[in-house]
């Protein structure tokens, strides 16, 4: 029903992964894909075309955003269900990873973009360290942005990430044991932002 009733545009970017902090040389240029959730194939691919938010414009509008805690829990369950099917251990929710993911999801929802660059130019390993997660451990961040809001987004976005080799590798890595999910949406339901932090 979701695929036929809601044709929401979803944008997701390649995950960043590595020890924390990630050597700058290991950080690849942003690669984002735009597709219709539920569609068979992606409708467009972009390099660095998803621009960073214009801070001046964002400061003027500052749309109100709220966390979608129900979707956060559903995404954790969906990721763990997929890991179990592949014979992998499930990931335990971690408060500090969640704190970082929630903060970044709010930023993305307000900005209306999918990016690993956060408020003040922050990088994901800086954000999880600031939230209190121990540095030096392998970790990864996966982000996505959907236009609109729908209760079926959890299954849809995890399904799309599983069809992306890079996202699948990040979320299905054997060495990871912890997860933190943040989902924020604008009050007008124009954007829903997803952030997953996983770590060893």
The tens digit of pLDDT for each residue in 12-49 reads 455 555 554 433 233 333 344 433 333 222 212 222 22
User: How far, in Å, CA of 67 to CA of 193, rounded?
Assistant: 10
DSSP letter for each residue of 162-199: HTSHHHHHHHS-TT--EEEEEEEEETTSSEEEEEEEEE
Residues comprising the chain, all counted: 200
Between 86 and 12, the higher pLDDT residue: 86
Phi/psi of residue 35, nearest 5 degrees: -155, 165
Q: What is the number of other CB atoms lying within 10 angstroms of the CB of residue 197? A: 29
Q: What pLDDT is stored for residue 190 in this prediction? A: 85
Coil, helix or strand for 44?
Answer: strand
Q: What pLDDT is stored for residue 15 in this prediction? A: 56
Please return the burial class of 89, using the count of CB atoms within 10 Å of its CB with bins 0-12, 13-18 and 19+. exposed
Q: What pLDDT is stored for residue 16 in this prediction? A: 52
Q: What pLDDT is stored for residue 32 in this prediction? A: 44
Q: At CA 51, angle to CA 48 and CA 54, rounded to 5? A: 160
Q: What pLDDT is stored for residue 42 in this prediction? A: 22
Spatial CB neighbours of 155, under 8 Å, sequence gap ≥ 6: 2, 74, 78
Region of poorest pLDDT, from 12-26, 37-51, 103-117, 138-152: 37-51
Rounded to an integer, the average pLDDT of 164-176 is: 90
Phi/psi of residue 74, nearest 5 degrees: -65, -40
User: How far, in Å, CA of 44 to CA of 160, rounded?
Assistant: 14
Do 27 and 115 touch, CB atoms closer than 8 A? no
User: How far, in Å, CA of 61 to CA of 110, rounded?
Assistant: 9
Confidence of residue 135 (pLDDT cuts 50, 70, 90): confident
Helices then strands, each counted (H, E), the chain: 7, 9
């Amino acid at each position: 029903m979701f695929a036929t009733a809601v044709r929401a545009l979803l944008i997701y970017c390649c995950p960043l992964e590595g020890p924390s902090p990630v050597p700058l040389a290991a950080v690849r240029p942003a690669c984002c894909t735009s597709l219709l959730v539920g569609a068979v194939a992606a409708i467009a691919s972009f390099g660095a075309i998803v621009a960073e938010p214009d801070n001046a414009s964002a400061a003027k509008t500052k749309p109100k955003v709220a966390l979608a805690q129900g979707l956060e829990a559903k995404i954790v369950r969906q990721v763990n269900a997929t890991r179990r099917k592949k014979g992998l251990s499930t990931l335990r929710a971690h408060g500090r990873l969640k704190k970082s993911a929630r903060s970044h999801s709010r930023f993305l929802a307000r900005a209306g973009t999918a990016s690993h660059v956060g408020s003040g130019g922050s990088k994901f390993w800086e954000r999880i360290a600031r939230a209190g997660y121990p540095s030096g451990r392998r970790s990864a961040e996966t982000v996505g942005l959907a236009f609109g809001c729908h209760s079926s987004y959890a299954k849809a976005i995890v399904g799309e990430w599983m069809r992306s080799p890079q996202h699948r590798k990040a979320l299905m890595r054997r060495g990871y044991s912890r997860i933190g999910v943040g989902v924020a949406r604008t009050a007008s339901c124009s954007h829903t932002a997803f952030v997953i932090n996983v770590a060893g």
